[in-house]
Each structure stands twice: as C-alpha cells, then as structure tokens.
Amino acid sequence: MVFDAHSDIWTDVTVRRLRGERDVFCKHHLDRLKKGCVEGGIFAIWVDPPYDANHAERTRQMMDCIQAEIAESTVFQIVHNEEEVMKAQQEGIFYILIGVEGMACAGEDPAWIDTYYELGARHAMLTWNEANALGAGALSGEDYGLTELGKQAVRRLQEKRMLLDVSHLNEAGFWDVAKLTAAPFVASHSNCRALCDVPRNLTDEQLRAIRDAGGVVGVNVFHDFVHADTEKQTVETLALHAAHMIEVMGIDHVGCGFDFCEFLEGEEDEPRTPGLEDAAQIPNFFVCLKRLGLNQEELEKVARGNYLKVLHRCVG
C-alpha cells in the first residue's frame, strides 16, 4: 500500500464543486487511487495560477469546498496524526492529511497558519514557485531565501507540529530551513539534480541535509523533472531517481510524492511520464524498483513506511 505525499486533488474538488458537482473525490478519483494501491496521502491546498491575483479569496473558496466535500463524503477520513492514520488503515478507510502548497495568501499575517491548522492542515510549504512575503520559490528568479516573516512562520509551524515541506523553495530558502528547523522536514515531490538538472530538483548536498534532519524526499512523476531527454522521461528513469536517493540518503529517507496532474484543467494535453500516466499506474514504479534490487521490506519503506515514520515524529 502507498502513501502519496503530494496530490492536488483539492483543486479539482474546488473546480467541480463550483460547477455544481458533489462527492467529487468518490466519483472522479477514488477508483484510480485504489487501482494504484494508494491508501492515503497529503492533499494540498494549491492556488492554481488563474487565481493567483487574489490568493486569499481563492484559498477561502477552496477551504469552503473542502469543508463541504468532507461533510458530504463517506469514503474518506481527514487525519491529523499517526494515531488517526493507523485507525483509518485498520478500518480500511482512505485517509487524507490536509496540506498547504504555498502560503502567498498569508501576506504579512502569520495568523493564517492558525487558520490552516483549524481547517485541519498538518503540513505546509511556505511558497509555491513564486516569491512571496515569506520567501522565494524555486522558479522566482530570486537569490534570497526566507524573509524574517518566513523564519517566524517556520518556528510557528513547528510549534503547532505541522510538517514543513521544502519542495518549492529555492536553494537559499532550503538552507535557511535546514539551519532553523529542530524537527525533520521533507521535500514531498522533488527529484535528483544529479539526474535532471532543473531548479525544482535537489542536489546531493540537499538530499544529505534532509537525511541528517530525519526527513524524507518523495519522487515526482512530472516529466520535466525526470530527464532532460524526452525519450528518457519514463517510469524506469524515475526509479533511477529513487535509487540515487537511496544511494545518497539511505533507504529510510525515500518515499512517494507523485504529483499527478492529468485531472487538472489545462493539463489534459500535457506530456505524461510513460508508465506513470496516472495514479492507477503506480505499481509499475515498484516493479522497476524491484528490478533494481530492492527487497520487500525496502519497497514497503518507500511505499509508505518512511513517510509514516516522519508523521509519527512531527505531526500532532
């Protein structure tokens, strides 16, 4: 069974509910996730670019849609800690940990962290790709890291036992987090710079820093993060990213953060990583890892065990 540490399904839930649909997760996502052996994961609140002129308004709109979906659905459970994850596993219920992908809506108001927490969020990224009042994202073009507000936000997130995620920070912001944090942090959906040299991927030095903090890196299926050569943007190459992470970090620090986006508006015609076109294809990834020599215990760590261990240590 798989824990997927990054999904944008809440965006699709919002789009469809605003059009009048109901029970979106069950109707459009659950079957595909079950085919892929996904038992639960982190669903992030992400403000899609058409709405980034007013992050706060769109975020509140998404929160309203999430709350409505939660109230209506009988097929998933929101979890806030490892104990609730284990209970959902025992009962065979799909579980969701609410996350935050970028906090531009906060502006200079740190009270937004409390707002997210009250909704149920137990995970957060300070930025998406942009620069905001908290820091600079990986594609912002800025060379500074966290602002003073961003450093305060890191401390506040840790006080509230929310899992801190650095996947979208630029390198300067990454190292600011590494210096500040007293708890494990993760890169929920990033690959290896050594195999694909793009800003969203991590250097070996960054991988080791996450290892030393007790964190986890989740592999990402997005084709441009897999290989520069389109012919090599395959599930087999993504498995090589995981193998490289294991070589650099050790088996206890690698997981899944697939970031499937075929269901998002405007993404229908985007290239897919062959063999991992959607969540139903996830077993193909583990077949590749097995061919690379991972045993059953190691496969289970990558599939869910490593992330669940971090939740046990960090999330409350």
d(CA 165, CA 101): 9
Res. 48 pLDDT band, cuts 50 70 90 = confident
168-221: pLDDT as tens digits: 999 999 999 999 998 999 999 999 999 999 999 999 999 999 999 999 999 999
Task: Report the chain's C-alpha Rg in angstroms.
Answer: 18
Q: Residue 38 to residues 212, 247, 306: CA-CA distances in angstroms?
A: 28, 25, 15
Domain range 2-314, its CATH number among 2.60.40.10, 3.40.50.10490, 3.20.20.140, 3.40.50.1100: 3.20.20.140
pLDDT for 36 beyond 90:
yes
- Provide the token pair at 8: 């944008």
67-120: pLDDT as tens digits: 999 999 999 999 999 899 999 999 999 999 999 999 999 888 889 999 999 999
Domain ranges of the chain: 2-314
Alpha helices in the chain (DSSP H): 9-18, 24-28, 30-35, 55-72, 82-91, 111-119, 148-159, 171-180, 204-213, 235-249, 282-291, 296-300, 306-314
Q: Give the pLDDT score at 108.
A: 85
Q: Give the pLDDT score at 52.
A: 78
Q: Give the pLDDT score at 34.
A: 97
272-283: pLDDT as tens digits: 999 999 999 999
pTM: 0.96
- Give the number of residues written for the chain: 316
Name the average pLDDT for the chain.
96
pLDDT for 16 beyond 90:
yes
pLDDT for 316 beyond 90:
no
Q: Give the pLDDT score at 67.
A: 98
What is the mean predicted confidence (pLDDT) over 135-148?
97
Per residue, what are the HEC states of 251-275? HHHEEECCCCCCCCCCCCCCCCCCC
For the chain, percent of residues with pLDDT exceeding 90: 91
Lowest average pLDDT, out of 107-116, 140-149, 286-295, goes to 107-116
pLDDT for 167 beyond 90:
yes
- Provide the token pair at 113: 């962290």
